Structure 1
Amino acid sequence: MDVFPLPLARIGIIGGGQLGRMMAKAAKRLGCTCVVLDPTPGSPASQVAGHQIIGDYHDPAKLRELAELCDVTTFDIEDIDTETLLQLEREGHRFHPSPKVLALIQDKLTQKQALADAGISTAPFVAMPEPSPEAFAEFGYPLVQKARRGGYDGRGVSIMKSAEDYRAHLPVPSLLERFVPAAKELAVVVARGLDGECRCYPVVEMCFRPGENVLEMLLAPADVSQATADAAIELAVRTVEMLDGVGIFGVEMFLTESGELLVNEVAPRTHNSGHHTIEANVTDQFEQHLRAVVGLPLGITDQLSPAAMINLLGAPGHRGRPTIKGLNEALAIPGVCLHLYGKAATSPYRKMGHVTVLDPDIESAKRKAKRVRDLIEISGEDHP
Structure 2
Amino acid sequence: MFVIYLYRLIRCKFTDEGCVALTSALRSNPSHLKDLNLFNINLRDSGVKLISTGLENPHCKLETLWLSQCKITDEGCVALTSALRSNPSHLRHLNLSYNNVGDSGVKLISTVLENPHCKLETLRLIQCKFTDEGCVALTSALRSNPSHLRHLDLSDNNVRDSGVKLISTVLENPHCKLETLWLCRCDITEEGCVALTSALRSNPSHLRHLDLSDNNVGDSGVKLISTVLENPHCKLETLWLSQCKITDEGVFALTSALRSNPSHLRHLDLSDINVRDSGVKLISTVLENPHCKLETLKLSQCEITDEGCVALTSALRSNPSHLRHLDLSDNNVGDSGVKLLYELRDDPHYKLETVM
TM-score strictly above 0.5: no
Q: TM-score, normalised by structure 1?
A: 0.27
Between structures 1 and 2, the one with greater helix share: 2
Q: Which has the larger radius of gyration?
A: 2
Between structures 1 and 2, the one with greater strand share: 1
- The answer to which structure, 1 or 2, has the higher relative contact order (CA under 8 A, 6+ apart) is 1
